[in-house]
A and B are shown apart, each in its own frame.
Chain A
Amino acid sequence: MAKTADQYFDDLRETRVWRSIFRSGTGSSTLRRALAIQQNVFLHLFSTKVRTRMLSFSATWYLGTLTLGTFFILVATGIPLMLYYHPSVPQAYHDTKDLQFVVSSGLFLRNLHRWSAHAMVFLVFAHMFKVFYRGAYRTPREFNWVIGVILLLITLLLSYTGYLLPWDQLAYWAITVGSNIASAVPLIGDKIHFLLLGGSSVNANALLRFYVLHCMILPLAAIFFVAIHFWRIRKDGGLYAHSSEPAAVRSRSRAKKKEATING
């Protein structure tokens, strides 16, 4: 009988090279499956087990997973885009034009990067509201919620800094309007505006600063906080499941029923 893909994969996991890299061997015992998560530097952020109930679509709508997916796509498309992009005026615009019309698949990569960025902002917002309406920010998950708020801000900043990079009319005026809001901060507003743009108006310095923020500082910050975000899910007891909270939280009517049981 021909081997199935599963068996080939198991064979691969049994080899010395694989085991030397991933530290976990083959086998489908609970122990082996737990080790596969726990012994991997990336996967060990997650817990080895998940409540079966939390796998249903309605529990999370997979919004966190999908947000991570958009982040992967953005990294995978952003790095190739950097290969054809010079953050200087007006070369940035011509490079974007080249990506649009000259470079093979450049148009597609830019489209994918841009639409994924919009999708990520949308998904982060959706994730936040979903978490709120499920009450998943409650003790002991308060701090993970705060990290989530930080990640929301980082996502907005990532998208905002990326908005300037094509150096077209759309980019230039959106950033001009947006950065002038910073000037409205009392007392230190003009200083913030000056530091953000590296000058008193949107020009070559601002483009370079936004480029460095967009490609280096903000992605690193995002990765840092995402790692904590995932790790805290495990440390705080896994994905929030409704019934692990006090009955009174679940719904008023059920709590009433239980109180009636006790009283009666």
Chain B
Amino acid sequence: MRPRWGQRIPVYVVLLFGTALMVLPLLWMVSTSLASTKYVTTFPPKLFPDTFEFANYGRIFSDTDLGRYLFNSVVIVIPSMVGQVVASSFAGYALARLRAPGRRIWFVVTLATLMIPYEATIVPTFVTFQYLGWINTFWPLIVPQLFGSGYSIFLMRQFIMQIPTEYDEAARLDGLGYFGIWRRIIVPLSVPALATVAIFTFTFQWGNFLGPLIYINDPEKYPLALGLYAMTQTSNVGQTPDWNLIMAGGMLLTVPMVMVYFFGQRFLYEGGNALGRIRV
């Protein structure tokens, strides 16, 4: 059955309207980031600037500290991703493949951690890290990522369960131990799930605001999200911040995330299917 064009028009009208609401703000972020300082203070605001100043993207590195913030973000994000991937693939392998007393209980406990909201543990965790002298360091942001997380481990386990056990058997006959099986069989065959864990960790850590806000007071050590926020706070009352530079900073925060989703889509689909439902 093919509906006639007359019936489709309302569908397109609604979708175009929705798309406009989704995309126009983004286009405005891009155009403001390329605008001159004069443009952003004109009233009433114009839809598009007259000239594009690509130099703004140079200025955020020369006139502001965003370059340093970006560097700090990378320093925090990379070990977090590695830690999450390794720890959750270890635990996922153990829960999916190795028989041991207590395995069921640990699996149930893993699922139970998903129900604990982050703020339920935030005060004692802060006190502990303060006691360890970790305030104003990256450790409170990185170290919790080195143990894995309930969601990543659940995802890894579900994915590894789909890998045929015959591979393990064959590898065992070739003389590989458990670690060898993990490294030679499980890791290469669970790349989509590993990539999914890496992407989720990146997403969380790249945008993380509360963690740095609590643990990092030294502006030298701000990651990008907190540093960008701090930039909007430093201007005096009544003085408008440089919106063009802030929007350029917003782009700096946004573009890597969009790229990660764009290139990771394939993995997210395969990795997510292991959960029995499709995501992205």
Do these two chains interact? no
